[in-house]
Amino acid sequence: MRHDQLDEPALDWRAKGFWQPDPPVPDAVFAAAGHSLFGGAVTWPVLAVRRSAVAHNVATMADFCTRHGFSFAPHGKTTMAPSLLDAQLAAGAWAITMATASQLLACRALGVPRVLLANELLDPTPLRWLAGELDRGFEAYFFVDSVAGVEAIATALADQPGEAPLRVLVELGFPGGRAGCRTVEQVVEVAEAVAATPRVRLDGVAGYEGGLPDDAAVTAYLRRLRAAATELARRRLVGPEVLVSAGGSAWFDLVAEELGGDWLAGHDLRVVLRSGAYVTHDHGFYAEHTPFHRIPGEGGLDAALELWAQVTSTPEPGLAIVGMGKRDASYDEGLPVPLRVRRRSGEVHAVEGMSVDRLNDHHGYLAVPPGVEVHPGDLVCFGISHPCTAFDKWRAMPVVDDDHVIVDVLRTYF
Amino acid sequence: MRHDQLDEPALDWRAKGFWQPDPPVPDAVFAAAGHSLFGGAVTWPVLAVRRSAVAHNVATMADFCTRHGFSFAPHGKTTMAPSLLDAQLAAGAWAITMATASQLLACRALGVPRVLLANELLDPTPLRWLAGELDRGFEAYFFVDSVAGVEAIATALADQPGEAPLRVLVELGFPGGRAGCRTVEQVVEVAEAVAATPRVRLDGVAGYEGGLPDDAAVTAYLRRLRAAATELARRRLVGPEVLVSAGGSAWFDLVAEELGGDWLAGHDLRVVLRSGAYVTHDHGFYAEHTPFHRIPGEGGLDAALELWAQVTSTPEPGLAIVGMGKRDASYDEGLPVPLRVRRRSGEVHAVEGMSVDRLNDHHGYLAVPPGVEVHPGDLVCFGISHPCTAFDKWRAMPVVDDDHVIVDVLRTYF
């Protein structure tokens, strides 16, 4: 299995979607050339990012957090795109949220100054590394949800030199949910274990309401999160600064209702919202579930991702095969949504009732209503559902203006 | 959305799964260091490749093709891993199969001498490029399935200089299937369009039986494919060399039965098998569907992929949360399959009835039977189902020997 015949380094500069037969110019030079998305600088399929929509979404959520007195730690695992993390930090984000040790390391390499790792961290290798980085001025928080987990951290750090404490938030979950203590009593028990452990410091509580079914369940859960923070403060297991974190992209209106305001008397309360998918929004799950449907006066999001694919075959009436599939589009929270058809002539048409039936790795099955014409060579523009599982299928994406001129190259690091 | 604050180039050398706080040594140096998979050189989750299993599978399918007189063009889209393509070519593969224009370009950059693009190709940009590369000695074939498609190719090449013809295979599909002509009559019609088109040359017929429900349907379909080749030869629309291609990883025993032997009298027949998933096999869909169940005397495949993830939380009885999810494992043809548990002590246990219930982006929900113990910090080794959608989630994977010593780094280029 050694690499004897093929020239692997020749692939290092290539990225799916971009048409690069020759070693490319730097991204900034490419972006300055004014290529049209349809001029041969990309091939199909390609996932394009609408610059104006991203800018709108970044500003909208920054404003939402300012208005409600929240600190914002947008979830960077959605995109793993430095240019988008940059934009979020420039718009005032307090930190970047991440999900894994590997992503924490990526943030540190990038120079992100403060990371909220919204997950337990039990692997001795990154724990020891993190202790060292905290001593060098990095700021990071992660979750704990069990006494056994606190003990695992203590064991990992037993012979680790240094001074700065690991800063943790006790995670509160809910029965039938993911990680996290199931009760406030368990939160207290874990907090007490933290208090008894050298080099670990409790900074607050955190949770994730995204798996709950409806607004009543989310509201009840957020109140338990608030009760947990209140109980930890009452017992002097946390404070005087107390961090309370929640919030994906589906319920941040209820987070504002339940966690907004100065409800922890005598403490310096920081409520941290962690929405991620908002940054590009979508044409599926989040288009349906965005809280802005319930609070239209506070703004709205604009779907930023366009997946362009070519019709390669129209083999029987009612069916067109397009050149995109599971390798290119998210398919876990709904299939791609046809938005427009672009003929080889450049004419653009509405989709007239077409829909995606299913995907193979590199093929999509497009159901075409009677009387609607699509031809081999036509391009179809799709919206996607669930940005997280769309971004992770692309190493580079063209950023386009509203005329589909390529203005930037967005790179991802999954 | 310009990249002002963060140090993006610092990420270029990082890959998920490997723990690389510092710029790394070259892969060959890393591989020679004798790291254990459990010694801190990787973090969790990580997708490991068992070297012995890959070597066994590559040899097994090479032997199968030799035994049945087939040319082998293993589908490289499964892995997009130069080291595996290398191994397949070294074992005698006649060509590498690919699915998209982007993958065709990658093969050319790598130096793969002959590519079968098992798909229609209608985009003028790669078509013009391909015409030029064929003039420079590259050998490639792709599919056509419509007169409109042949016309699109002709239009793209209208003002293209050069001499070497584009070499195409007419694709035969089946009603309700994916791309491809539905009847032998349509195959003839497309072949006649090719014959009337300058710079395009017909080399044979091709199909894909993977979407068919059972052996009767596959057998009937392969006979139609044979009938199509026979009819094209009879009409002198192809030949004297005739290429006939079929075969994924689920039905190659029937391909051997129906397309083996010298059945096209007076012609030089080359039957090309295109299996891809066989190279790592799996613990799910292909473990269930491999043709070797029906022809055990011809060999068998060995599942090569091990996804290792850490238990991060055991929040309630019967549930453990592991640190792997949709970003790490395939989930389109079955969820990951728990194989073993490794305690923090290094002890290894059987999984005792555990199963994966569902996945979030970075979390897996492990159902744990009563009486079975798992603890935060334990590692769980999972098999996967469907190699294609596992490989595309990793840029680099440790290759391990049977003692889990890392012996190579496998890089992918999706």
Mean pLDDT of B174-203: 97
Residue B345 makes CB contacts below 8 A (sequence gap 6+) with none
Instruction: Check if the beta carbon of residue B294 is closer than 8 Å to that of residue A71.
Output: no
CA pair distance B117, B82, nearest whole angstrom: 17
Q: What are the tokens at B143?
A: 């599919």
Cβ within 8 Å, pair B152-A312? no
Q: Measure CB to CB from residue A11 to each of B152, B362, B413 and give the nearest one.
A: B413
Give the pairing of strands A355-359 and A406-411: unpaired
Percent of chain B with pLDDT strictly greater than 70? 99
- Give counts: helices (H), strands (E), chain A: 11, 18
Long-range contacts, stretch B343-346, CB < 8 angstroms, 24+ apart: B343/B375, B343/B378, B344/A152, B344/B375, B344/B377, B344/B378, B346/B38
- Provide the CB-side half-sphere exposure for A84 (13 A, CA): 34
Question: Is the predicted pLDDT of residue A10 greater than 90, yes or no?
Answer: no
**Number of independent structural domains in chain B:** 2
For residue A5, the model assigns a pLDDT of 80
Please check whether residue A358 is in contact with residue A316, taking contact to mean a CB–CB distance below 8 angstroms: no
Q: How far is A109 from chain B (nearest CA, A)?
A: 6
CB contact under 8 A, A19 and B344: no
Q: What is the average per-residue pLDDT within A84-101? A: 98
Looking up residue A399, the CATH number of its domain turns out to be: 2.40.37.20
- CA A261 to chain B, closest CA, distance in angstroms equals 30
What's the helix, strand, coil split of chain A in %, to 5? 30, 25, 45
Best residue in A89, A112, A122 to probe B by mutation, most B CBs within 10 Å? A122
Are residues B361 and B260 part of one domain?
A: no
Question: Which residues in chain B are closer than 8 Å to A305, comparing Cβ atoms?
Answer: none
Residues of chain B with Cβ-Cβ distance to A323 below 8 Å are: 100, 119-120
Taking each helix axis as running N to C, give the angle between helix B215-234 and helix B252-259, from 0 to 180 degrees, rounded to the nearest 10. Answer: 40
Cα–Cα distance measured from residue B156 to residue B81, given in angstroms and rounded to the nearest whole number:
31
Mean pLDDT confidence for B282-302: 97
Can you tell me whether residue B221 is helix, strand or coil? helix
Calpha distance A162→A130 (Å, rounded): 11
Contact A5 B86 (CB under 8 A): yes
Half-sphere exposure of A211 (CA within 13 A, CB side): 17
Nearest neighbour of A414 by CB, restricted to B4, B129, B327: B327
- Cis before A45 (ω within 30): yes
Indicate the residue of B5, B77, B316 with minimum beta-carbon distance to A111.
B5
**Spatial separation of the C-alpha atoms in residues B112 and B191, rounded to whole Å:** 28
Let me know whether B183 and B310 are in one domain.
Answer: no
CB contact under 8 A, B313 and A180: yes
- Written as one letter, the residue type at B143 is F
Instruction: Collapse the DSSP code of B254 into the 3-class scheme (helix H, G, I; strand E, B; otherwise coil) and give the result.
Output: helix
Specify whether A195 is located in the same domain as A140: yes
Closest Cα of chain B to A140: distance in Å? 16
A99, A129, A161, A170, B161 from A202: Cα distances, Å: 19, 19, 20, 8, 70
Tokens found for residue B59? 């040899």
Question: Which residues sit opposite B245 in a β-bridge?
Answer: B206, B272
Strands B200-206 and B241-246: parallel
Same domain for B190 and B259, yes or no, is yes
Contact between chains at A89 and B5 (C-beta distance less than 8 A): yes
Read off the pLDDT of each residue in B49-64 and give the average, rounded to a whole number: 98
Size of interface A-B (CB pairs under 8 A): 289
Instruction: Calculate the CA A329 to chain-centre distance.
Output: 15
Residue A75 is assigned to a structural domain of this protein? no
Q: What is the pLDDT of residue A3?
A: 59
Q: Indicate yes or no: CB of B77 within 8 angstroms of CB of A326.
A: no
- Is residue A323 very low, low, confident or very high in pLDDT (cuts 50, 70, 90)? very high
CA–CA dist B64, B71 (Å, integer): 10
Q: What is the phi-psi region of residue B239: left when phi exceeds 0, alpha when psi lies from -120 to 50, beta otherwise?
A: left
CB B111 within 8 A of CB B136: no
Residue B3 — very low, low, confident or very high, per pLDDT cuts 50/70/90?
low
Tokens of B286: 């292909």
Place of tokens 């999509």: A364
Interface test with chain B among A16, A83, A280, by most B beta carbons within 10 Å: A16
Q: Which of B260, B275, B290 marks a domain boundary?
A: B275
Pull the structure tokens for residue B81: 């891993």
Overall pTM > 0.95: yes
Which amino acid, residue A249? S
- Tell me the residue type at A28: A
What confidence tens digit (pLDDT) does each residue in A13-39 have? 889 999 999 888 899 999 999 999 999
Q: Report residue B255: phi and psi, to 5°.
A: -60, -40
Does the beta-carbon distance from A3 to B82 stay under 8 Å? yes
**Cβ contacts of B376 on chain A, cutoff 8 Å:** 120, 122, 146, 148-149, 152
Q: Per-residue pLDDT averaged across A69-98, rounded?
A: 98
Q: Categorise residue A117: left if φ over 0, alpha if ψ from -120 to 50, beta otherwise.
A: beta
Q: Do A11 and B110 touch (CB under 8 A)?
A: yes
DSSP at B134: H
Do the domain assignments include residue A76?
A: no
B308 and B264 in one domain? no
Q: What is the residue-wise DSSP string for A91-160?
A: TT-S-EEE-SHHHHHHHHHHT-SEEEEEEE---HHHHHHHHHHHHTT-EEEEEE--HHHHHHHHHHHTT-
Q: Do A1 and B181 touch (CB under 8 A)?
A: no
- Among A4, A54, A310, select the one facing B90 at the smallest CB separation: A4
Give the whole-angstrom CA distance, residue B226 versus residue B205. 9
Instruction: Assign B232 a pLDDT band (cuts: 50, 70, 90).
Output: very high
* Residue A123 sits in the same domain as residue A264: yes
Do both A263 and A318 map to the same domain? no
A130 and A270 in a single domain? The answer is yes
3-state secondary structure of B278: helix
One domain, residues A210 and A312: no
A346 in any annotated domain: yes
Residues of B in contact with A109 (CB under 8 A): 7, 10-11, 14
Instruction: Give yes or no for residue B148 having a pLDDT over 50.
Output: yes
The CB-based long-range contact list for A263-268 (8 Å cut-off, 24+ gap) reads A263/A226, A263/A230, A264/A229, A264/A230, A264/A233, A266/A233, A266/A240, A267/A233, A267/A239, A267/A240, A267/A241, A267/A242, A268/A239, A268/A240, A268/A241, A268/A242
Per CB-CB distance under 8 Å, the chain B contacts of A277 are none
| pLDDT tens string A362-380 | 999 999 999 999 999 999 9
Identify the domain boundary among A275, A310, A341. A275
Cβ contact (<8 Å) for A179 and B315?
A: yes
CB B120 within 8 A of CB B168: no
Residue B239 scores a pLDDT above 90: no
DSSP code at position B49: E
Between these two residues, A2 and A65, which has the higher pLDDT value? A65
Contact A18, A35 (CB under 8 A): no
Question: What is the torsional sign of CA B249, B254, B257, B258?
Answer: negative
Nearest CA in chain A to B46: A102
pLDDT in tens, A46-82: 999 999 999 999 999 999 999 999 999 999 999 999 9
Interhelix angle A184-195/A147-157, nearest 10 degrees: 20
pLDDT at position B99: 98
Q: Give a yes or no: residue B364 inside a domain.
A: yes
Residues A269 and A140 reside in one and the same domain: yes
What is the CATH classification number for the domain harbouring B226? 3.20.20.10
Residue A86 distance to chain B (closest CA, Å): 6
Asked whether residue B62 is assigned to any structural domain, the reply reads no
Chain A interface test: which of B44, B100, B209 (most A C-beta within 10 Å): B100
Question: For A46-50, A266-270, A285-289, B160-164, which range has the lowest pLDDT when averaged over its residues?
Answer: B160-164
Q: Position B22: which residue type?
A: D
CA–CA dist B77, B119 (Å, integer): 12
Task: Measure the N-to-C terminal CA separation of chain A; round to a whole number of Å.
Answer: 25
The pLDDT of residue A36 is 98
| Chain B neighbors of A86, CB-CB under 8 A | 1-6
Q: Are B146 and B189 in contact (CB under 8 A)?
A: no
Which are the contacts of B218, defined by CB distance < 8 A and separation ≥ 6?
Answer: B209, B212, B251, B254
Tokens 């900034």 correspond to A28
- pLDDT at position B301, please? 98
**Cα atoms in the Cβ-side hemisphere of radius 13 Å centred on B216:** 0
Cross-strand pairs, B396: B411
User: In the 8-state DSSP scheme, what is residue A70?
Assistant: -
Give CA–CA dist A219/A201, Å, rounded: 28
Write out chain A residues lying below 8 Å of B406, CB-based.
none
Chain A residues touching residue B377 (CB < 8 angstroms): 122, 148-149, 152
What is the mean pLDDT of the segment spanning A310-317? 97
Helix residue spans in B236-315 (DSSP H): 252-259, 285-289
The pLDDT value given to residue B11: 87
B313–A120 CB contact, under 8 Å? yes
Share of chain B above pLDDT 90, in %: 93
Question: Which of A236, A260, A275 lies at the terminal end of a domain, its last residue?
Answer: A275
Residue B281 lies in a domain: no
Q: Where are the alpha helices (DSSP H) in A12-69?
A: 27-32, 51-68
DSSP A272-337: EE---GGGT--SSHHHHH-GGGT-GGG------EEEEEEEEEEEETTEEEES--TTTS--SSS--E
Quick one: pLDDT at residue B9? 83
Which of B111, B171, B181 faces A6 most closely, judged by CB atoms?
B111
Report the residue of A58, A123, A385 to disrupt the B interface, i.e. the one with the largest count of B CBs within 10 Å: A123
- Rounded to a whole number of angstroms, the distance from the CA of B359 to the nearest CA of chain A is 10
Same domain, A213 and A318: no
Q: Do A377 and B5 touch (CB under 8 A)?
A: no
Distance to chain B for A257, nearest Cα, Å: 26
pLDDT number for residue A147: 97
Q: Best interface-test mutation with A: which of B43, B56, B324 has the largest number of A CBs within 10 A? A: B43
Rounded distance, CA B356 to CA B380, Å? 11
Q: Which of A1, A327, A377 sits opposite B152 (nearest CB)?
A: A377
Average pLDDT, integer, range B289-316: 97
- Answer positive or negative: Cα dihedral of B322, B325, B329, B334: positive
Interface test with A, best of B97, B312, B314, B413 (most A CBs within 10 A): B312
In-domain check, residue B66: no
Same domain, B257 and B164: yes
- B305 assigned to some structural domain: yes
Domain that holds residue A366: 10-50+301-411
Please choose, from the candidates B250, B256, B168, B253, the residue with its C-alpha nearest in 3D space to the C-alpha of residue B209. Answer: B250
Q: Do B179 and A315 touch (CB under 8 A)?
A: yes
β-pairing, A114-120 vs A139-144, is: parallel
Is the pLDDT confidence value at B141 over 70?
yes
Q: How far out from the chain centre does Cα A146 lie?
A: 26
Q: Which tokens hold the place of B378?
A: 């334990």
